[in-house]
Structure 1
Amino acid sequence: MAALLLRHIGRHCLRAHLSSQLCIRKWSLPMAMSVCHRGSGIAMSGGVSLFGLSALLLPGNFESYLMLVKSLCLGPALIHAAKFVLVFPLMYHSLNGVRHLMWDLGKGLSISQVQLSGVTVLVLAVLSSAGLAAI
């Protein structure tokens, strides 16, 4: 979502005839992954904060809300998809964080290694999220 917004802003810059350094002409994989890494961190922080505030402010306890969700009789595909959406930012952010730590050690900094590690992070994040959502 954030990547699409930034791409839209970049196109607007091109139409406004601004300096080429200020406009994004073509998105690379590392740039898009960096934006998504920041976005997933912000989303997780906001989600945890909202969950904590809801636990303080809403009446009842967690079990009552869990029973409410169970009473909705949602299908297994919808529940699996919701669990995937909840766990994917955590897995992506964690795996991309390990990738950044490897860069801090000075490993994997060539362009081909950056591209390969980016694709690896994406594949592992999807697979591990699907596995965790299946639990």
Structure 2
Amino acid sequence: MVKEGIVTSQAPTPVGAYSQAVKVGNRVYVAGQGPKNPETGETPATIKEQTRQVLHNIQQILEAAGAKMSDVVKVTAHLSDLKYFDEYNEVYWEFFSEPYPVRTTVGSQLMDILVEIDVIAEIID
């Protein structure tokens, strides 16, 4: 199998030595994405807006890899404070449907953002 780096201008450019995503066979590993809007460079203010931007960024990266949100099988979400869980979860439901991906949501010390999410997708034909 070949390991392919996935790059799209429709999501924020990585700030370090990592890929937006890596595709191996039918599996896509998307790096942790923050809430930066790639067109404006702005970060929304609220947890709902940030969650929506993060999931939109992930959606764009998945599409560049030939996948879609319904192909996501695993989600790991980091919240700057678990008090945001209900609002984050409300937006999460806009992007996923049954059968929902497995998910881990943890409180993490994030710098200047409220949420970061990474996913694994398995492209199903």
Q: TM-score, normalised by structure 1?
A: 0.25
Instruction: Please tell me whether Structure 1 or Structure 2 has the larger radius of gyration of its CA atoms.
Output: 1
- After TM superposition, the score normalised by the length of structure 2 is 0.26
Structure holding more helix per residue? 1
More strand by share: 2
| Greater relative contact order structure (CA < 8 Å, 6+ sep) | 2
